[in-house]
């Protein structure tokens, strides 16, 4: 399968700046190191992520942090300019999402879990699901369909803390060993300097990086590895069902629990 790929373009589309770094950056770093083009997109610029700054001021800070995080692996940052807590699954938002996806024409999309601790994440997952299906279809949005565009491989990252809204643990289909990319993931997360302060103020969490790492340790322990990220692959009609992450990163790096 890997030999047949004509495009190696990964898009991580999540709700807020820092979601991709917390939930998927170890895997994105591994792909980037293997020559993949990486795009990190967020539905909002994180405009509610401050106790002190107004929405536009903190949004400006966080767009810059998002760009800095992506740049660590040579990636490009995009913001779809919804607003925190108002990420809607509606026509205007889906059109913006689909248009951006058509510009990028990803082979692989990673998004938020469809069940998660807050609705923004679930909406981002739904938008990514619809945009992956629709972006190669000529009449969904304006603009030419890039050559090689196809319904991409789609993976949902873990919900925050791995829990659905009822407190039940979500079971990944796919674990990626991120032991060799944890330092890069950490550097990407640390680009979001404003959030270490915000989380400390709002959630009482003083351990932004330590919490990320301890979650990776938990997923790693489930498959006998030091550190891992968990994903669930979307295998519905029209989507590729083979595991692209296994094909690209190797069976020694990816553990399937389908």
**How many angstroms separate the CA atoms of 217 and 134, rounded?**
36
Stretch that binds Zn ion, among 2-10, 14-22, 52-60, 200-208 (CB under 5 A): 14-22
Contacts of residue 143, defined as CB under 8 A and 6 or more positions apart, other chains included, come to 99, 102, 103
116 or 177: CB nearest Zn ion: 116
**How many angstroms separate the CA atoms of 67 and 93, rounded?**
21
Q: According to the binding rule CB under 5 A, does residue 16 interact with Zn ion?
A: yes
Least distance from Zn ion to the Cβ atom of residue 121, Å: 6
Kindly tell me the burial class for residue 217, based on how many C-beta atoms sit within 10 Å of its own C-beta (0-12, 13-18, 19 or more). middle
Least distance from Zn ion to the Cβ atom of residue 159, Å: 10
Least distance from Zn ion to the Cβ atom of residue 189, Å: 13
Contacts of residue 141, defined as CB under 8 A and 6 or more positions apart, other chains included, come to 95, 98, 99, 102, 134, 135
User: In the stretch 131-150, what mask flags binding to Zn ion with x, by CB under 5 A?
Assistant: --------------------
Stretch that binds Zn ion, among 9-17, 43-51, 169-177, 248-256 (CB under 5 A): 9-17
16 or 129: CB nearest Zn ion: 16
Q: According to the binding rule CB under 5 A, does residue 234 interact with Zn ion?
A: no
Asked if 157 and 111 count as a contact pair (C-beta separation under 8 A), the reply is yes
Asked if 244 and 108 count as a contact pair (C-beta separation under 8 A), the reply is yes
**How many angstroms separate the CA atoms of 154 and 147, rounded?**
19
- DSSP-derived secondary structure for 18-87: THHHHHHHHHHHHHHHTT-EEEEEESS--TT--SSS-HHHHHHHHHHHHHHHHHTTT-EEEE----TT--
- 3-class secondary structure, 183: helix
47 or 248: CB nearest Zn ion: 47
What does the block give as tokens for 89?
Answer: 């699954």
Task: State which residue has the least CB distance to Zn ion.
Answer: 16
Least distance from Zn ion to the Cβ atom of residue 237, Å: 29
Number of residues that bind Zn ion (CB under 5 A): 3
Stretch that binds Zn ion, among 3-11, 15-23, 34-42, 211-219 (CB under 5 A): 15-23
Asked if 42 and 157 count as a contact pair (C-beta separation under 8 A), the reply is no
**How many angstroms separate the CA atoms of 101 and 99, rounded?**
5
Stretch that binds Zn ion, among 11-19, 62-70, 101-109, 214-222 (CB under 5 A): 11-19
User: Considering only residues 17-56, where is the footprint of Zn ion by CB under 5 A?
Assistant: 19
Least distance from Zn ion to the Cβ atom of residue 163, Å: 14
Stretch that binds Zn ion, among 8-16, 46-54, 56-64, 78-86 (CB under 5 A): 8-16
19 or 21: CB nearest Zn ion: 19
Q: According to the binding rule CB under 5 A, does residue 15 interact with Zn ion?
A: yes
| Contact residues for Zn ion, defined by CB under 5 A | 15-16, 19
């Amino acid at each position: 399968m890997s030999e047949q790929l004509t495009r190696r373009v990964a898009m991580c589309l999540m709700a807020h700046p820092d979601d991709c770094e917390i939930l998927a950056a170890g895997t994105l770093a591994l792909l980037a190191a293997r020559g993949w083009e990486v795009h990190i997109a967020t539905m909002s610029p994180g405009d509610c992520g401050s106790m002190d700054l107004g929405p536009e001021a903190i949004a400006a800070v966080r767009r810059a942090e998002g760009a800095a995080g992506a740049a660590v692996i040579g990636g490009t940052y995009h913001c779809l300019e919804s607003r925190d807590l108002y990420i809607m699954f509606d026509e205007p938002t889906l059109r913006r999402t689909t248009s951006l996806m058509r510009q990028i024409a990803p082979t692989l999309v990673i998004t938020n879990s469809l069940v998660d601790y807050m609705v923004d994440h679930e909406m981002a997952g739904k938008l990514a699901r619809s945009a992956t299906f629709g972006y190669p279809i000529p009449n969904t949005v304006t603009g030419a369909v890039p050559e090689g565009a196809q319904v991409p491989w789609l993976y949902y990252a873990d919900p925050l803390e791995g829990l659905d809204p009822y407190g039940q643990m979500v079971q990944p289909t796919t674990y990626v060993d991120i032991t060799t990319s944890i330092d890069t993931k950490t550097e990407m997360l640390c680009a979001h300097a404003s959030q270490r302060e915000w989380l400390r103020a709002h959630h009482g969490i003083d351990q932004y990086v330590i919490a990320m790492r301890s979650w990776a340790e938990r997923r790693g322990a489930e498959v006998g590895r030091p550190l891992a990220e968990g994903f669930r692959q979307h295998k519905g009609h029209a989507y590729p069902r083979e595991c692209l992450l296994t094909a690209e990163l190797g069976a020694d790096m990816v553990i399937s629990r389908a």
